Amino acid sequence: MDKAIRKVIIVGGGTAGWLTAGTLAAEHLANTDSGIEVCLIESPDVAIIGVGEGTWPTMRATLKKMGISETEFIRHCDASFKQGAKFAKWVTGAEDDAYYHPLVLPQGYAEINLAPFWQQHKADMPFADAVSFQGYLCDQGLAPKQNTTPEYAHVANYAYHLDAGKFAAFLQQHCTQKLGVKHILDHVTAVNAAADGDIASVATRQHGDISGDLFIDCSGFKSLLLGQHYQIPFICKKHILFNDRALAVQLPYADEHSAIASHTISTAQSAGWIWDIGLPTRRGVGYVYSSAHIDDAAAERELRQYIRPALGPQADSIALRKINIVPGHRQLFWHKNCVAVGLAAGFLEPLEASALVLVELSAAMISEQLPANRAVMDIVAKRFNDKFLYRWERIIDFLKLHYVLTQRTDSAYWRDNCNADTIPAELQALLQLWRYEPPWHRDFSQVDEVFPSASYQYVLYGMGFKTQTRPTARRADNSALAQQHFAKNAELTAKLLRGLPANRELLNKIRQFGLPKI
């Protein structure tokens, strides 16, 4: 039990495997004699899912810690800048129905909650526009920084859109060439258990048994170690989040000068929603939907109708890729000396790009709290499980929030999403509370919430939610301060609209000249 943790085996590649490998290897000096050994085993025949093309701003810090140049990342991964998400037709389904969930906090958020002050004049301006500048930047297709802004620094907070296949290959090269990760291309054919129930080794077709001290399951939906070997139950969440199918397609631009959207576009349909992600060389588009509310043929027709303005007659014949989804997660994520990351741990749906951030958060916690020896591993495992069960529950709440406030009644899908039986109890309680007091810092118990209270504000008030606040002395005293912040946001918006380049313009300059190093 006091055996030191010296060798980590990661089963599975893709984005989850290589992000985890890179995070561990960089922090624990895998490229030195004194560091731990990180070995990634990847099947040569299993293709990655490869449609997770949206990240969170956290990815900037993750890549920086791994020693990756942002310039090289953008050049090699067909990456573009993402400044939030635009939700179209989620409220009423009308053509002009849209709101933003930007990646910047509302103006003065640490000092004052502007929501009740905005509500007094909400007819004049959408919430996101009143408290942040980022929706305006997205409307104009502007970048979040200038070509003189150093790598990973920002003028407006940003994440990325990227080509998942190219990203995995880029990470593989960096991890193996710079960080000392050992890469084995082989099939795992069996899991060999030790007498105490731990995993002693995994058997491979050509490299024999490969032993380790900690095994990380990044084997995707198969969940070879945690799911198949340990039989950790899968908790299905389809009764809350209905979407269980996706159809994906890649669309070319009209020409090399076409604008690149600065945000993910999520457009509601009759039984789900369509994502639209702009990369430098193409758009990634897909329809995620509920098979209980629409059949595959009808979903395909809706998707082809969406892409017809871009493709014309070709929209009727372009090949679509079908992906089956079982929304949910494992009952535990760390059991014995095995921890699951990525799809092996679970998946909900693509909304709000929560899948990749869970990979980042999982890899970071494993790395930061890597057990010194087997004796303390179960303590770390319990802490990990508690933290991530909470995170999955809160993500489910936040994703469901997008559906429960709709005013659409045009299909059973939208009506069923508003059924109280499908809404988690914690979310129902918060919605009741927020009818009288807007979300703010005190509403959540963790200092590192996956979705902060600001995100709830953007979705709530973007969807037309009403909070009936009562007058208080504190609020009256803060009225002048609120007006100052509204004015400051308007000034900042005008300044940034004048000073920032178009998304494509900046990306072209990065490809040609690169970004300054910090």
- Tell me the pLDDT tens digit for each residue of 299-326: 999 999 999 999 999 999 999 999 999 9
175 & 40 share domain: yes
Q: What pLDDT is recorded for position 83?
A: 98
Closest CA to 140 of 437, 511, 504: 504
**Could you report the per-residue pLDDT of 181-235, keeping only the tens digit for each?**
999 999 999 999 999 999 999 999 999 999 999 999 999 999 999 999 999 999 9
pLDDT value for 53: 86
Q: Structural domain tally of the chain?
A: 3
Please give the Cα distance from 401 to 344 (Å, whole number).
25
Higher pLDDT, 274 or 447: 274
What are 498-508's pLDDT values in tens digits?
999 999 999 99
Q: What pLDDT, on a 0 to 100 scale, did the predictor assign at position 48?
A: 67
Same domain (yes/no): 339, 459: no
* 276 vs 279: CA distance, rounded Å: 10
192: containing domain: 7-53+163-237+327-391
User: Do 374 and 444 fall into the same domain?
Assistant: no
Q: Is 464 exposed, middle or buried (0-12, 13-18, 19+ CB in 10 A)?
A: middle
The confidence score (pLDDT) of residue 135 equals 97
CA 198, CA 192: separation in Å to the nearest integer? 9
On whether residue 274 sits in a domain, the answer given is yes
For residue 285, give both structure tokens: 């588009």
Q: Which of 117-121, 130-134, 385-389 has the lowest mean pLDDT?
A: 117-121
The CA–CA distances, whole Å, from 67 to 73, 119, 171, 178, 517 equal 11, 45, 11, 9, 12
Statement: residue 49 has pLDDT above 80 = no
- Could you tell me the pLDDT band of residue 51, with boundaries at 50, 70 and 90? low
Q: Is residue 167 part of a domain?
A: yes
> Do residue 257 and residue 171 come from a single domain?
no
Indicate whether 483 and 344 sit together in one domain. no
pLDDT given at position 445? 78
3-state class (DSSP) for residue 269: coil
Same domain? 405 vs 493: yes
Range from 42-56, 193-207, 392-406, 435-449 carrying the lowest mean pLDDT: 42-56
Look at residue 225 and tell me if it is in a domain. Answer: yes
Query: Which residues on neighbouring strands pair with residue 199, listed in sequence order?
Result: 193
pLDDT at 117 over 90: yes
Listed residues 287, 305, 324: the one ending a domain: 324
Task: Examine the domain organization and report whether 453 and 316 are in the same domain.
Answer: no
Helix (H) or strand (E) holding 171: helix 164-178
State the chain's mean pLDDT as an integer.
Answer: 95
- In degrees and rounded to multiples of 5, residue 92 shows phi and psi of -115, -20
Q: Do residue 419 and residue 474 come from a single domain?
A: yes
The arithmetic mean of pLDDT across residues 51-65, rounded, is 90
Q: Which of 3, 7, 64, 82 does the annotation list as catalytic?
A: 82
Has residue 60 been placed in a domain?
no
For the segment 235-283, what is each residue's pLDDT rounded down to a tens digit? 999 999 999 999 999 999 999 999 999 999 999 999 999 999 999 999 9
CATH number at residue 375: 3.50.50.60
509 domain residue, yes or no: no
For the residues 323-334, what does the mean pLDDT come to?
97
Are 486 and 425 part of one and the same domain?
A: yes
Please report the pLDDT score of residue 1 as a whole number.
63
| Parallel, antiparallel or unpaired: strands 182-185 and 37-42 | parallel
pLDDT at 71: 98
* Rounded Cα gap, residues 212 and 199, in angstroms: 8
Whole-number pLDDT of residue 52: 58
Q: Does some domain include residue 78?
A: no
pLDDT at residue 180, rounded to an integer: 98
In a domain, 96, yes or no: no
| pLDDT score recorded for residue 427 | 97
Residue 85 has pLDDT above 70, yes or no: yes
3 is catalytic: no
3-class DSSP string for 185-243: ECCEEEEEECCCCCEEEEEECCCEEEECCEEEECCHHHCHHHHHHCCCCEEECCCCCCC
> Is position 420 within any domain?
yes
Is the same domain home to 174 and 319? no
61, 364 contact by CB (below 8 A): no
- Shared domain for 398 and 491, answered yes or no, is yes
Average pLDDT for 16-44: 96
> Confidence class of residue 448 from pLDDT cuts 50, 70 and 90?
confident
Domain final residue, candidates 373, 391, 409: 391
The percentage of the chain sitting over the pLDDT mark of 90, rounded to a whole number, equals: 92
Provide the pLDDT confidence category of residue 50 given band limits of 50, 70 and 90. low
Do 278 and 377 belong to one domain?
Answer: no
- Give 364-370 contacts, CB < 8 A, sequence gap 24+: 364/23, 364/62, 366/20, 366/23, 366/24, 366/216, 366/339, 366/341, 367/23, 367/24, 367/27, 367/28, 368/27, 370/5, 370/24, 370/28, 370/36, 370/214
- For residue range 471-484, what is the model confidence (pLDDT) as tens digits? 787 777 889 999 99
Residue where a domain terminates, one of 304, 324, 344: 324
